[in-house]
Structure 1
Amino acid sequence: MITTQDAVAAAERCTPEYRRNPHAVYARLREEAPVCPMRPPHGNETYLITRYEDARTALADPRLSKDMYGAMDAYRRIFGESSVALDDNMLNSDPPKHTRLRKLVSTAFTPRRVQALRPRIRETVDELLDGCPTREPFDLLPAFAFPLPIIVICELLGVPARDRSRMQHLSTAVARSGFDEEARRAQQKAEEDLHAFFTELVETKRGRPGDDLLSALTALRDDEDGELTQSELVSTAFLLMFAGHKTAAYLIGNAVQNFLTHPEQLRAVREDPALIGPAVEEVLRFEGSVESSTFRYATEDVEYAGTRIPKGALVQVALSAANRDPRKFPEPDEFDVRRQGTVHIGFGHGGHYCLGAPLARLEMELALTGLFDRFPRMSPADPSAEPRWLEVPFPAFRGLAELPVVLDPPGGAA
């Protein structure tokens, strides 16, 4: 049985055991250290919140600031200087700036614009599956899960088709950053390249606007809130691209992995297509791609679950832990697409609730439906193999490093 001390050390260092099964670590922390002081590799005092009710409260607590410019020294130690230029956006701000930015972006990023993508997403799913081998083992992530969201978000933003593979490469380089010097240099170079790319693209949209989101944001004005500055435009474009790509790609992979290891749940969805919506929500609860929230910092001393978080300390909310809290979810470690009344926080909560949630849900629905309808006998390439999860510094993304499958294995029943 894992001890609390072992659980803290595993989470701090993201040990291989932790990456394989963070839920055992979170179960121990929820019971014995629900607000856990940690010292991750970045060296800043950080508190990890793991229970559902505390997590939901913390995500909307104005005393826990998202304005990382207010904690600049800590921010630079963690992310480096190059990140600053890309983080002038709503994710890293508090009201009133956050309110202004979110209102402006929401005006252009409408449900109508998202739903208008449905035919194109379905078409893209079919095109990608057309290019996949059916009888031979292959990795579903680079062939399907990764290119689908990058195509969608690039088309939404108005990124030229010739630049999409580059966007995927740079986004991956940023997401897999670490705390060693080599990883920092790779991250910095990717961020500098992304900043230069989006700066040039914004200028292009000013002179030759198209029917895309970035053109709409560039032209957007509001009588009360003015317009997005050049820095805000570039940073917002990066945020939408990065969040719209990596989180959706890992989420598709997690979903397929969980359905392949729970064939009775896959059978239920195939027999009743109306379950696809609840199935998407259950994936988000059970194995979401965003394991922990981005950093907040305490602007004053605050207390959660009897633990004092001192002013200036960093705070992360363990979304994956909260979404398996037995105080909120009966049988939380069971993957059940018929689960009723799921109110997970896979997309966050409060003012920073994920603006792209409708797009992520739509991509998941169409990706899974396309796969399950077309390849009802899809199976793991090696059913005995343990899944290989990403190695990332401190809880951030939860995703697979690879997903070997066979879409139409010879023999067997559908």
Structure 2
Amino acid sequence: MVEETPWQQALRYENRPNPYPFYEELRKTPVARQPDGSYVVSTYRELVQLLHDPRVSSDQRKLPVPVENPFVGTIITTDPPEHDVDRRRMMRHFGPPECPHMIAGFEPQIRRIFTGLFDGMQGKTRIDLVDEFAFPGPVTVICEVLGVPLEDIPSFHAWIETALDGLDLGPEATTEEQQRRAAAVPAAVTQLRQHLGDLLDQYRERPGPGVLSGMANDDGPEGPLSQEAAIGNAMLMLFAGHETTVNLIAHSVLSLLRHPDQLETLRRRPGLIVPGIEELLRFESSVQFWPTRSALEDIEIAGTTIPAGAPIFVAYGAANRDPKRFENPDKLDLERPNNEHVGYSQGIHYCFGAPLARLEVQIGVSEFIRRAENPRLVEDPPPYRRNQIFRGPKHLWLDIDGVRD
């Protein structure tokens, strides 16, 4: 039996709660060739170098064997100039310079959403933080930002969960159980795309609030997104709103409960939440890695040559715990100085939804700290979702003494 590499071990579902020992082993070879011919970059310096290297493509269509990925043709899986033009078209409706106050303008609404969720927990002594708080908060926010009807959330959630559960890039991908999950993905993605396409068509006929309507009726200097690109990028924003912020809120609470000294620090100094969220994002990266990059030509890095055409995995979760970049990286330190993590990537593919996500997590985690009385973990580690890229708890059961007003 062939021994698995640290990367293959990190991708196994049984190791989802704690992939960090395997990342530590992986970092001993900063650019590690895998048996399938791909290369995993796990150290901070080398990963950042490649994120800014124009010889690295993000377009999965350029891979020798394209990765099954619902985001094909979106801004996260395209290169300049296509990427640059479509990103500008989207940003016109999401942030500066055309919409400089959009994110800040949503702050009162975000507070109302998270406050209302905790109001609904009054009288409870056991809660599932994921199902009752970390999921409905961000999903409601992203739907309102995009202009997706809230009654569509159950359908979108089911399709997205099916798509993510069916994607496995590790040694368990060939099992019969995982093959059954993978077989359900195409239908879920097709239904999701069809529904978003119908929404965009409706907004073209009757413009309304939200980013989708803006994208459907764009009159900017570069013209509108094509229908295909608008559907794909709308789907990307829905996925991100469903997964990354949900996982970050759940992981933030989990990490703070595991580090009661840091939780107590936040209680005493609520203003620390802003830099604190950066540390929580470094500590438990919502996006563990990204699988669609490849080398456009031979790239010499860290004593290794990545040959032209080779797939490259950028392992954010490993780089954010690199001891050569972060002192005592396995320690949660909400006051960590010089905390330039790669939790939202870097370079041209830096997450443009990061300001919204940061605001949501700052408000959500602050509300939890303020209102949950004496929270305790029921199960540690909690059960995890299957997806390896968007890593996060499936449930997070907590016992509490009550909910403060």
TM-score (norm 2): 0.91
Whether 2:107 is the aligned partner of 1:122: answer no
1:172 matched to 2:171? The reply is: no
* Residue 222 (structure 1) aligns with: 220
Alignment match, 1:406: 399
Q: Is the 8 A contact 2:126 2:398 kept in 1?
A: yes
Give the alignment partner of residue 229 of structure 2, picking from 224, 227, 232. Answer: 232
Give the aligned length: 388
The residue that corresponds to 2:191 in the other structure is 193
Query: Which position in structure 2 is the counterpart of 1:49?
Result: 41
Out of 87, 91, 103, the position equivalent to 2:76 is 91
Cα distance change of structure 1 residues 408 and 294 upon mapping to structure 2, 3 Å threshold: farther
SS class of match (1:315): strand
Paired position in structure 1 for 2:65: 74
Kindly state the Cα deviation for residue 134 of structure 1 after the two structures are TM-superposed: 4.7
User: Which secondary structure state, in structure 1, belongs to the residue aligned with residue 312 of structure 2?
Assistant: strand
Deviation at 1:8, TM superposition (A): 4.0
Determine if contact 2:57/2:295 at 8 Å carries over to the other structure: yes
CA contact (8 A) 1:118 1:362 kept: yes
Cα distance in 2, alignment partners of residues 399 and 161 from structure 1: 23
Distance 1:119 1:8, change over 3 A: closer
1:271-310 matches, within 5 Å, as 271-310=268-307
1:206 pairs with one of 204, 207, 214? 204
Q: Which amino acid aligns with 2:65?
A: A
Aligned residues of 1:379 and 1:409 also touching (Cα < 8 A) = no
**Match of 1:402, SS?**
coil
Q: Identify unmatched segments of 5+ residues in structure 1.
A: none
Q: 1:20 aligns with which of 14, 17, 26?
A: 17
Instruction: Tell me, in whole angstroms, the C-alpha distance in 2 between the residues paired with 1:334 and 1:351.
Output: 30
CA contact (8 A) 2:61 2:72 kept: no
Deviation at 1:20, TM superposition (A): 3.0
The answer (yes or no) to whether the contact 2:56–2:295 under 8 Å persists in 1 is: yes
Q: Say which SS state the counterpart of residue 316 (structure 1) adopts.
A: strand
Note the C-alpha offset of 1:284: 0.6
1:10 maps to amino acid: Q
Amino acid at match of 2:325: K
Distance 1:305 1:175 in 2: 33
Measured after TM superposition, the shift of residue 376 of structure 1 is 4.0
Q: Quick check: 1:35 aligned with 2:31? A: yes
Q: Distance in 2 between matches of 1:197 and 1:9?
A: 36
Pairwise CA distance, 1:407: 3.0
The Cα of 1:270 is off from its aligned counterpart by 1.0
Who is 2:148 aligned against?
A: 159
For 1:103, the equivalent position in structure 2 comes to 88
**Mapped contact 1:14–1:391 kept (Cα < 8 A):** no
- Structure 2 Cα separation of the partners of residues 404 and 388 of structure 1: 10
Give the whole-Å Cα distance in 2 for the aligned partners of 1:362 and 1:181: 38
Q: Residue type of the partner of 2:396?
A: L
Counterpart Cα distance in 1 of 2:225 and 2:386? 36
Question: % of aligned pairs identical?
Answer: 34
Report the CA distance shift for 1:294/1:152 in structure 2 as closer, same or farther (over 3 A): farther
- State the AA in 1 paired with 2:146: L
Secondary structure of the structure 1 residue equivalent to 2:145: helix
TM-score normalized by the length of structure 1: 0.89
- In 2, Cα distance between equivalents of 1:401 and 1:151: 18
Tell me the C-alpha RMSD between the 2 structures: 1.9
Write the distance in 1 (CA, Å) between the matches of 2:357 and 2:158: 20
In 2, are the aligned partners of 1:171 and 1:246 still within 8 Å (CA)? no
Corresponding position of 2:129: 140
Deviation at 1:15, TM superposition (A): 5.0
Kept after mapping to 2: 8 A contact 1:47/1:313: yes
Q: Deviations over 1:237-272 (max 9, x none)?
A: 111111122111111110010011111101101110
- Provide closer, same or farther for how the CA distance between residues 195 and 285 of structure 1 changes in structure 2, counting only shifts above 3 A: same
Q: Distance in 2 between matches of 1:234 and 1:405?
A: 38
**In 1, Cα distance between equivalents of 2:301 and 2:260:** 40
Q: For the residues of structure 2 that align with 1:141 and 1:22, how far apart are their CA atoms?
A: 21
User: Distance between the aligned counterparts of 1:243 and 1:187, measured in 2?
Assistant: 17
8 A Cα contact 2:373 2:402, kept in partner: no
SS in 1 for 2:45: helix
Q: Secondary structure at the match of 1:108?
A: coil
Q: Which amino acid aligns with 1:157?
A: L
CA contact (8 A) 1:282 1:337 kept: yes
Question: Which contiguous aligned blocks of 4+ residues in structure 1 show a shift greater than 4 angstroms?
Answer: none
Q: Distance in 2 between matches of 1:135 and 1:212?
A: 35
CA–CA distance in structure 2, aligned partners of residues 15 and 163 of structure 1: 30
- 1:117 is displaced (CA, Å) by 1.0
Shift of 1:5: 6.0
> Which is helix-richer, 1 or 2?
1
- What residue ranges of structure 2 are gaps of 5+ in the alignment? 168-172
Kept in 2, the 8 Å contact 1:35–1:307? The answer is yes
